[in-house]
Structure 1
């Protein structure tokens, strides 16, 4: 199954260096322009089905980028990592208030788990389980998913390295970028972080 993944457009909290996690902030004017640019990337292809994270910023991006005739299925499994008490706080605030947790986030990713949130491995479990189910139950050949930066990093890390400890070796994915993977018994990435703006 070919899986095309789009990261949402730029948001207000992206500009303020705030952790969003499973909270939301609106797309900026630039984010709206980026979402419109996604049309250029995806209009050349047809998809069996379109999915989106159930968070507002991905739904907004999908609604701008997609032909409104095509339905979009919202799935919680494609939501951003739940960062618990970090959500809504700036990077500086988190470094000050949660120093040891922040250190684990960057230095020991396998052991990291947000207080009242989740860890990277949990993100991988829910996303891979969901993709397997979509493939098994529906038999789709090509799907499109609107999702989040950390979800993309987790998928990339597990496919390329097979070990979540290498998550910071994965690239950062630009807002409204396209990444394409082949979801097979041995998944591979055929295109990464393509933008059209």
Structure 2
């Protein structure tokens, strides 16, 4: 399988530096423009498009592939990592409202999670299962996955079998 991982276009929360996680947020104007420009960067021959269920990814995929006639397949495994009580907050707001959690550097702990959120290990395991499903269903195909920054980060680390820069590497909108 040839897999192209695409991050959704920008949202207001991205522009403001807010944790989005599982919040279902629309693209902003810049995000719509980014999605319109993306198609030219992808291969002309694509067999399947798989999309996170979150609106920002769905909107990006719908814009990118509007003229292709490709069916968009939603796969829940590729939704963004839930960061629980931090969702919708900036880092400064999270540190102020939840100082005990913030002091633990909780979003970067492998086995711990913010209240009502997912740990990194839970998230990575979900992504691993999603990749296995993609391989089983699209083994020899060219697949575009429209998802999220932390999803891309996890896929990169899993494929490389190297998590050494997991918390530093970032795929921009």
TM-score by length of 2: 0.89
State the distance in 2 between where 1:134 and 1:156 align.
Answer: 15
Q: Shift of the alpha carbon at 1:32?
A: 0.7
Alpha carbons 2:128, 2:158 under 8 Å: kept: no
Q: Which moved more, 1:134-143 or 1:5-14?
A: 134-143
Alpha-carbon contact 2:46-2:144 (below 8 Å) kept? yes
- Report how many residues are paired: 171
> CA–CA distance in 2 between the matches of 1:49 and 1:158?
21
CA distance in 1, matches of 2:100, 2:44: 45
Q: Is the 8 A contact 1:7 1:173 kept in 2?
A: yes
Tell me the residue number matched to 1:146: 146
Equivalent-residue separation in structure 2 for 1:134 and 1:161 (angstroms): 18
Corresponding residue of 1:116 = 116
Alignment of 1:1-197 (within 5 A): 1-42=1-42, 44-66=43-65, 67-102=67-102, 103-105=104-106, 108-160=108-160, 162-163=162-163, 166-169=165-168, 171-175=169-173
Name the CA distance, whole Å, in 2 between partners of 1:99 and 1:161.
33
The two structures have a TM-score, normalised by structure 1, of 0.79
The more displaced of 81-90 and 135-144 is 135-144
Structure 1, unaligned runs of 5 or more: 176-197
Moved over 6 A (4+): none
CA 1:134–1:168: 2 relative to 1, 3 Å: closer
SS in structure 2 opposite 1:167?
Answer: coil
Query: Aligned equivalents of 2:83 and 2:49: distance in 1?
Result: 26
Aligned alpha-carbon RMSD (Å): 1.9
Distance of 2:36 and 2:2 partners within structure 1: 23
Shift of 1:114: 2.2
Decide which structure has greater strand share: 1
Q: Deviations over 1:44-86 (max 9, x none)?
A: 3312211100000000000111135111011111100011111
Structure 1 CA distance for aligned equivalents of residues 112 and 156 of structure 2 = 18
Instruction: Name the CA distance, whole Å, in 1 between partners of 2:64 and 2:55.
Output: 14
